[in-house]
Structures are given as C-alpha cells and as structure tokens.
Chains A and B, each alone.
Chain A
C-alpha cells in the first residue's frame, strides 16, 4: 500500500476512488433516510418550473437572483427539473453496489472452485475445468442480459448475471497459483502434521495466493460498473433509480436539442471512476505479481 501511495499518479487515483466512495456512502445515507421517512428523495423531486436549468457555473448572474426555494442546480437539472448532481451521487451509490455485490458473488465462487480444483487435482479438477470452460464459452454480454432478463427483478438480475459469469477468470488464476503451491515444503509440512484438507487449503495456501484476490477485485470493479451502465442503458437493469446508464439514456434524447450538461457530467463521472480503478489495478498487478509486470525493467 505504501508503495502505491508513493507515486503521485496512483495517489491521485486512490484519492479519486476515496472521494467516489464517500459520495456513494453519502448517497446511501440520503437514500436510506428517504426510505425510512417514506418521502420522495430529493434526487427524485420533480420541479416542472425548472426543467433544463443549465449548470450554476454558466449562469452566475441568474443564480444570485433565483427565486427563493429554487435549488442551486450546481450541475444543472434534467427533463423533470431534478438535480443532476444529486442523481450522479445516487448513480455512484448504485455503481458501488454493483462493483461490490458482484465481486461478493464472483470472487468467493472463483476462489472456492479454484482452490478445490488446484488442491485436489484429478477428478475434482476436471469438474472445475469443465465448469470454467462451459461458462467461458457463453457469449459474454448476451448471456448476462439473458440472465438479467430471465431472473428479472431489476438490479438483482444484473448482480446475478454479472456475478455468475465473471468468476471464471478468478477461478483460473487461483487454480494456477494453488497448483504452484500444492507441493511446496510448507504444504507438505502441514500434511505431515496431519492437518485437514480444508485447513491446509484455506489457512495455509490461500493467504499465499491472496494477492490474486486483490488484483481480481481491482480489475473486476471497473469492468462490472461499465457493464451495469451498459445494461441499465438498455433499460434492462435498474428501474426508477438514477443509475448512470439510465441517466445517459435520458440525456441522450435531449443532447440533440443542446442540453449538454447531463450527458457530459455522467460521462465524466463514469470515466473518472473507471480510469482511476483501471490505473490502480495496473499498479497493483505490477506490484504484487511480478510475473505479469508490464513495465520495462
């Protein structure tokens, strides 16, 4: 971690991610509070009289003389007079939900299967490899969409779709690493001591391959956020909540009439988060997995 912090570009990316995480937490609080009090949350409040208000920084004079009670609209308002900034924050919340929940599905599944296959070998391994090959041969995005469609129920379907299709790479990496460790001296020592399979697998080998989990998380997170944006853009995922994909879809139609702010800010928000995560993922991989190092020595 300290090595990551030392370089200015990674530090910047980590700060960006932290800011997003804070925004997501704040969004969660707003969302929960509105749910608890059974009120329409502020990010969904419709104000017919202030549709398509440009961002505050391009109409400084108008901001000062705005009627009492009108929100500031720092990043403008959308077709129903809803605050773009607040909806962006909610989008961040959903993006973090997607990134974290799909990881919670995919990573344990991949790690468990990878450990089992790599440790036991033989028939167990054949089954694991067969499962990986089967899921890997499904046509990615379409399969996710099909799962989301069949499961239905908005976000739950999206979580399952992304989670159940992306464990394969985690599983393959973990399995490869476990195979490397399988016959090392410390594993043999543990076997001689009479420890059970589960204990050797999860107490002895797993900590030694844990860096793969960290890398997998940092690679999966931006990828699943991007997939969620795509899916909800198509109108299959979230309904009625301001996911980034839905915001893009809304903004798309007004773009042709010159309403540029919603589109611009959503795009930038997605871009910055994904870029920061991708960069951190690269650095993590270079740091933790010298075999995959891309930098020239």
Chain B
C-alpha cells in the first residue's frame, strides 16, 4: 500500500504541478503583471525548483524580446529588462560582470554595487533593499538567465507538497476562499446521503435479479433480464439523468426537481443512480453466481434433498460472495467523492458537485484534494476487502 500511495502522490504532483503549467497564471489570469505572478509564486512556494536543486528560474526577466535590450549609458553594460524589483535574497546571473542598482525600500536611498569575476556571478540583496536594475557583461542577450537561490538542495515543490500533505494541509480553495479540508468536510455528508442508498439498493436488487437468473438459467426470464441489462448498460448516464429529471420530475411531477432539503429530494437521484448501474451489476453478479452453480457441492446439496432456496442462499450465494464483495468494494471510494452528474443536476451540495465546480473554475487545489482522497480511500478499501476475504472464506489466510 505504501508504494502505491507514493505512486499516487507522484502522479498527482506530476499532473497538477508539472503538466498543468504555472498555477499563478491559471489563478490570476493571463494578463496579470509578472510582479503579482511572482508574489503569488513566492507565497505558495511555486518559486522553488520542482524536484531538487539550489537554483530556480524566476519571472523577473519577463518575455521582452532580448534583441531590444539597451546598454547602460555610462558603463556600456547590457541592461536587463527587470519586470519588478528583486526582493531580498540570493540571485545568480550567468554573466561575468554585474552592476546592481539597489534601493532601500523604506527611505528610497539608492546605491550601486558591482560584482566581477568568472561567470556565473552570484549576489545577494540585503533585507530591506530591492534590486531595481541589473546591467551585465560577458553574455549574449538571448542567453541570459536569472535564477533565485533556495534555502537548501531539497527545498523543492515536491518535498513541500509531501510535507504539507503529511501535515493534513490540502491548501486553499480559490473558488470558495476556504481551506480545502473544510470544503471537503462539508461535502462528504450530502454525498454519503446520496451514494449509500444507491450502493445498498443497487447491490441488493442486482444480486436478487442475478440469483433469479442463475436459478432459472437459460429460461425466458433469464434471457429477458440479460437482454434488458445489455440495453440498460448502453443508455448513456447523461441520458438517465436528463430523462429522469424531465419525465418523472418535470412532466409527471412525482418528485421535486432540484434541491437538497428533505429526504424526498433524494428519491429521484437515488432511483436514477440505481437504475443506471443495474445492467452492468446484474451481468457481473450473474456470471459470478454461475461460476459456482456447476460445482460439485451444489449437486451434493441437491442430492441431500435441500430446497432450492436453501441451496441458492446458503451455499451458492455464500461462495460467490468473494467476487461480489470485490466488485462492491470498488465503488466504496466513490461513496465519498460522490456522483458528479447526479449532484450537480439535482443541486446536492456534495463532493461531486464541488469537484465539478472546481474543474470548471480551474480550482486545482480542490480537484487535487478530491483525487487524492479518492485514491487513498481506494487503497484503504482494498485492504479492508482482503480482511473480508478471510472472513468469507476460511481458506484465505492473511499475512
């Protein structure tokens, strides 16, 4: 479980921090000044290197075309287009000679400092001062690189990501302006209210139908249920939701259309949830039960003269519980993360609609948190399922 958890964290990190591009640009928009982008980066720790390293790229040079650079009037050095004044810290330029124009923030006093030596040159801006101009020599304009020093080799985004997750800090939701953990906590309740009835109802109905099919295998009922479940499986989920809402709630006025006020509001979404999963479930359970029904112990039970009910429920069902439990356990993580469509269409403020909103508004922190939550739950459930096996089948030994 630990390697997989690590894998999940790496995968989410790669997805949201490496592939996703700059979070600052996503949040602040494309037209934000590079000063505010840099401030955002510094505040959220995005100015650190991704994995490890002493130096990281900063935005201070902007994207002014390097061909238009001018020279310093007196020294003749190349003037770098700083888009904002560099705050205190350690910097590195890949040039041999750097003239730094400094200003003390409090008084406005200006000063100049010249560092000279083999490239790359490092220099530090003292606390209370900012660097307003940089003039360099010994580097072609198109090659110039300005980097910021980090506190340590491993003071990276990835390490920061892992440590803050370990502290239980999931970040701040931009959309809700709340800590993500709180958003998640508020969403879990409504999600569970929706998904638990769906899981229980769906499983019971599907297992019953599957038992019927298996008992009367090859009969007209069996074929009808099989065909019907293939048909049910092929109806798109979107269609279930829209048709249910339109026909049952709007046209026939059987249920409230939208909202989350009383249990009555949950009936229709639960029904839709059950029906939309029924086809696939029945087929799976039927196959699992049929795997058992031809085994010798069933014949023995028949020979003993046991009744059909007793054979089906006490012998066959009990033995086919392992695949059934595995199958059911797969959907347990989704109990918590909720149903994207049902929740957003019936106005249930659960995690499903929260994450859908977050995706629409690029609220990375929330999406990431729900993904991680789902993945971790999946692994916990997997472990719990193994324990269940041992209880269901004494031949399975743990450890």
A137 touching B337, Cβ below 8 Å: no
Contact B246–A233 (Cβ < 8 Å): no
CA distance A149 to B231 in the complex (A): 32
* Binary contact readout A256-273 vs B (1 if CB under 8 angstroms, 0 otherwise): 100000010001001100
Write the A276-297 contact mask toward B (1 if CB under 8 angstroms, else 0).
0011001000000000001010
Q: Check A91 for interface membership: any CB of B closer than 8 A.
A: no
B238 and A230 contact, CB distance less than 8 A: yes
Given contacts A139-B375, A256-B250, A294-B290, contact A279 B238 (CB under 8 A): no
- What's the count of A-B pairs with C-beta under 8 Å? 116
Q: In the complex, what residues of A have CB within 8 A of residue B234's CB?
A: 222, 271, 274-275, 278
A271-B4 contact, Cβ under 8 Å, with A137-B379, A149-B367, A150-B19: no
Chain A residues whose C-beta falls within 8 Å of the C-beta of B362 in the assembled complex: 149
- Complex contact A146–B15 (CB within 8 A): yes
Complex Cα distance, B371 from A149, in Å, reads 13
B233 lies within 8 A of A278 (CB): yes
Chain B interface, DSSP helix/strand/loop, else mixed: helix
Tell whether B52 is near chain A: CB-to-CB under 8 Å: no
CA distance A135 to B4 in the complex (A): 9
From B231, B250, B359, B378, A236 is in contact (CB under 8 Å) with B359
User: Contacts A230-B341, A275-B230, A278-B230 given: A270-B236 contact, CB under 8 Å?
Assistant: yes
Nearest to B235 among chain A residues (CB) is: A271
Q: Are B355 and A142 in contact (CB-based, < 8 A)?
A: yes
- Do residues B374 and A142 form an inter-chain contact, with CB atoms below 8 A? yes
The answer on a CB contact under 8 Å between A139 and B334 is yes
Q: Which listed residue, B218, B231, B237, B334, touches A226 by the CB 8 Å rule? A: B237
**B239 touches A (CB below 8 Å):** yes
Closest partner residue, chain A, to B10 (CB atom): A134
A234: interface (CB < 8 Å): yes
User: Which of B11, B236, B375 has the most chain A CB atoms inside 10 A of its CB?
Assistant: B236
- Chain A window 214-233, contacts with chain B (Cβ cutoff 8 Å), 1 for yes, 0 for no: 00000000100010011001
Taking the nearest CB of chain B, how far is it from the CB of A173, in angstroms? 16
A279-B230, A282-B230 as given contacts; A139 in contact with B371, CB under 8 Å? yes
**Most chain-A CB neighbours within 10 Å: which of B218, B233, B242?**
B242
B162: Cβ under 8 A from any A Cβ: no
Chain B residues within 8 Å of A130, by CB: 3-4, 7
A18 at the interface (CB under 8 A from B): no
CB of B238 within 8 A of CB of A229, answer: yes
B346 CB to nearest A CB, Å: 14
Residues of B within 8 A of A256 (CB): 246, 250
Are the CB atoms of B4 and A233 closer together than 8 Å?
A: no
Indicate which residue in B16, B243, B355, B375 contacts A138 across the interface (CB closer than 8 Å): B375
Q: How many residues of A contact B (CB 8 A)?
A: 42
Interface string of A166-184 (1 = CB under 8 A from B): 0000000000000000000
Does A252 touch B at the CB level, under 8 Å? yes
In this assembly, does B370 line the interface, its C-beta being within 8 Å of a C-beta of chain A? yes
Decide: B217 and A296 in contact? CB cutoff 8 A. Answer: yes
Name A279's closest neighbour in chain B (CB-CB): B230
Interface 0/1 of B238-275, CB less than 8 Å to A: 11001100100010000000000000000000000000
A147 cross-chain contacts in B, Cβ below 8 A: 15
Contact with A along B2-43 (1 / 0, CB 8 A): 011001100100011001100000000000000000000000
Q: CB distance B378 to A252 under 8 Å?
A: no
CA–CA, A150 and B18, complex, Å: 10
* Alpha-carbon distance A237/B246, docked complex (angstroms): 25
Alpha-carbon gap, A255 to B360, bound state (A): 24
B356 within 8 A of A: yes
**Cα distance A204–B310 when bound, in Å?**
49
Give Cα A285–Cα B242 distance, bound, in whole angstroms: 32
Per the bound structure, the CA–CA distance linking A64 and B234 in Å amounts to 37
Say yes or no: is A27 at the interface (Cβ < 8 Å to chain B). Answer: no
Contact B4 A294 (CB under 8 A): no
Whether, in the assembled complex, B283 has its beta carbon less than 8 Å from a beta carbon of chain A, the answer is yes
Q: How far is the CA of A138 from the CA of B333 in the complex (A)?
A: 10
Mask of B313-346 contacts with A, CB within 8 angstroms, 1/0: 0000000000000000000011001001100000
| Pairs of residues from A and B, 4 with the lowest C-beta to C-beta distance, nearest first | A139-B374, A134-B7, A275-B234, A137-B378
15 CB contacts below 8 A, A to B, read A133-B4, A134-B8, A137-B378, A142-B337, A143-B371, A146-B371, A222-B234, A235-B360, A252-B242, A267-B236, A270-B236, A271-B235, A274-B236, A278-B233, A294-B286
Q: Known pairs A139-B337, A151-B19, A294-B287; list 20 more (Cβ under 8 Å).
A: A130-B7, A137-B4, A137-B378, A138-B378, A142-B371, A145-B356, A150-B15, A150-B20, A226-B237, A229-B236, A230-B237, A234-B340, A234-B356, A234-B359, A236-B360, A248-B239, A278-B233, A278-B234, A282-B230, A296-B290
